[in-house]
């Protein structure tokens, strides 16, 4: 199978979005290199517009929607926050109306940001089915185009621009570690890396309970249905199943080995990034930091130069995972 988008679409996406996004820096840390026993290169998408890499895919998809349909009534999506925030930003840049469906319990910082960009915020029950249904109803009522957070080739091509930049910024990477939820970012990065630097291996980093490795190894969707959210501190990567469109791309272009990280380890990864690199990252990024620093040496010891995607920095400062609630002040 060949991916329905390739380096051409990723390069076109980059031309389309580059004046609306940041070319994020790559951060290094001698201390973290020492702990990991190899060179680590942190791609700081926590510093991206809207606080996560999601601005890339959302801008590409929304700008294409406007290009193909100049009278578009707008866009709508369902998202645990970061894609919603990014879609609201992209729609504002394109001058299109936007609605965002989020599950109840989404961190306040993410809800505030979605509204700040001018989108309508719609709450629903925290189940994948409720999210899809509410989003579908809004699309039917308003005619707005549904921009899926990951199962959309324009979104995947937009996320691929992370690798386009990273592989230019750092030559000769052996591997890239990518926190995964629905798989849009990993698909985009894996396809781009395959074209630009085929020897560089792309590994997904998942929360405990996702069970992606056995699905990738067997190339079968072995997950229980209906789809579930995982109980993890990393609120951005709670979806257990990757997408129907992303799964075949992951089977073909990503490594079947997956790094599985539990909550305590993600928090340790977050703290390492905060303390050692002074980077405010959310738990999904912490998963990749932990995998790079503590796991790569055991799982793939031959890998020496590792790109680590700090995918987002949208943390709610009132509910940091290592702070016990204190009502005394």
Residue nearest to ligand PLP (CB): 312
Spatial contact of 246 and 156, defined as CB atoms under 8 Å apart: yes
72 is catalytic: no
- Report the residue from 52, 99, 154, 192 that binds ligand PLP according to the rule CB under 6 A: 52
| Choice between 46 and 72, CB closer to ligand PLP | 46
77, 135 Cβ separation under 8 angstroms: yes
The distance in angstroms from the start CA to the end CA of the chain is 59
Q: Of residues 43, 54, 66, 210, which has the active-site annotation?
A: 54
Beta pairing class for 175-179 and 120-124: unpaired
Q: Is 236 in the site for ligand PLP (CB under 6 A)?
A: yes
Based on the residue annotation, tell me whether 218 is a catalytic residue of this protein: no
Q: Does 207 bind ligand PLP (CB under 6 A)?
A: no
Concatenate the DSSP letters of all residues of 218-264 into one string: HTS----SS--B---S-GGG-BSSPPTTHHHHHHHHS-S-EEEE-HH
152 lines the binding site for ligand PLP (CB under 6 A): no
Tokens 């389309």 correspond to: 16
Residue 157 contacts ligand PLP per CB under 6 A:
no
Of the candidates 80, 99, 187, 277, the residue annotated as catalytic is 80
- Residue nearer to ligand PLP on the CB measure, 134 or 241: 241
Say whether residue 83 binds ligand PLP (CB under 6 A): yes
User: Which one among 182, 269, 286, 307 touches ligand PLP, defined by CB under 6 A?
Assistant: 182
The answer to whether residue 163 forms part of the interface with ligand PLP (CB under 6 A) is: no
Tell the smallest beta-carbon distance from residue 329 to ligand PLP (Å): 30
* 94, 170, 237, 279: residue in contact with ligand PLP (rule CB under 6 A): 237
Instruction: Report the 10 Å Cβ neighbour count for 70.
Output: 7
> Are 202 and 256 within 8 A, CB to CB?
no
Our CB check for ligand PLP shows the closer of 72 and 291 to be: 291
Q: Provide the H-helix boundaries in the chain.
A: 7-17, 30-36, 54-68, 82-94, 108-116, 128-142, 153-169, 184-196, 212-218, 246-253, 263-277, 283-290, 296-299
Rank residues 54 and 66 by Cβ distance to ligand PLP and give the closer one: 54
Q: What residues are annotated to the active site?
A: 54, 80
Which residues form the interface with ligand PLP (CB under 6 A)?
52, 54, 82-83, 149-150, 179-186, 236-237, 282, 284, 311-312
């Amino acid at each position: 199978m060949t991916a329905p988008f390739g380096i051409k679409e990723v390069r076109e996406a980059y031309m389309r979005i580059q004046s609306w996004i940041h070319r994020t820096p790559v951060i290094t840390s001698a201390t973290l290199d020492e702990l990991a026993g190899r060179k680590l290169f942190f791609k700081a998408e926590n510093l991206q517009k809207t606080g996560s890499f999601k601005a890339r895919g959302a801008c590409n998809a929304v700008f294409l929607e406007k290009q193909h349909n100049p009278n578009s009534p707008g866009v709508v999506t369902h998202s645990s926050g970061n894609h919603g925030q990014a879609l609201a930003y992209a729609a504002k840049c394109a001058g299109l109306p936007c609605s965002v469906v989020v599950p109840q319990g989404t961190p306040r910082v993410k809800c505030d940001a979605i509204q700040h960009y001018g989108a309508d915020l719609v709450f629903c029950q925290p189940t994948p089915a409720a999210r899809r249904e509410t989003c579908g109803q809004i699309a039917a009522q308003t005619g707005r185009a549904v921009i899926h957070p990951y199962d959309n080739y324009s979104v995947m091509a937009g996320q691929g621009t992370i690798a386009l930049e990273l592989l230019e910024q750092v030559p000769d990477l052996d591997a890239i570690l990518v926190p995964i939820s629905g798989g849009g970012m990993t698909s985009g990065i894996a396809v781009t890396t395959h074209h630009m630097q085929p020897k560089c291996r792309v590994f997904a980093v998942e929360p405990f309970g996702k069970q992606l490795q056995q699905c990738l190894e067997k190339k079968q969707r072995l997950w229980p249905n209906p789809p579930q959210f995982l109980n993890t501190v990393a609120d951005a990567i709670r979806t257990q199943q990757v997408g129907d469109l992303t799964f075949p791309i992951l089977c073909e272009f990503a490594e079947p080995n997956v790094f599985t990280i539990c909550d305590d380890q993600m928090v340790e990864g977050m703290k390492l990034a905060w303390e050692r690199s002074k980077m405010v990252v959310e738990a999904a990024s912490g998963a990749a930091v932990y995998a790079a620093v503590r796991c790569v040496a055991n799982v793939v010891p031959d890998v020496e130069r590792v790109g680590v995607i700090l995918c987002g920095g949208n943390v709610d400062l009132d509910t940091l995972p290592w702070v016990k609630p204190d009502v005394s002040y």
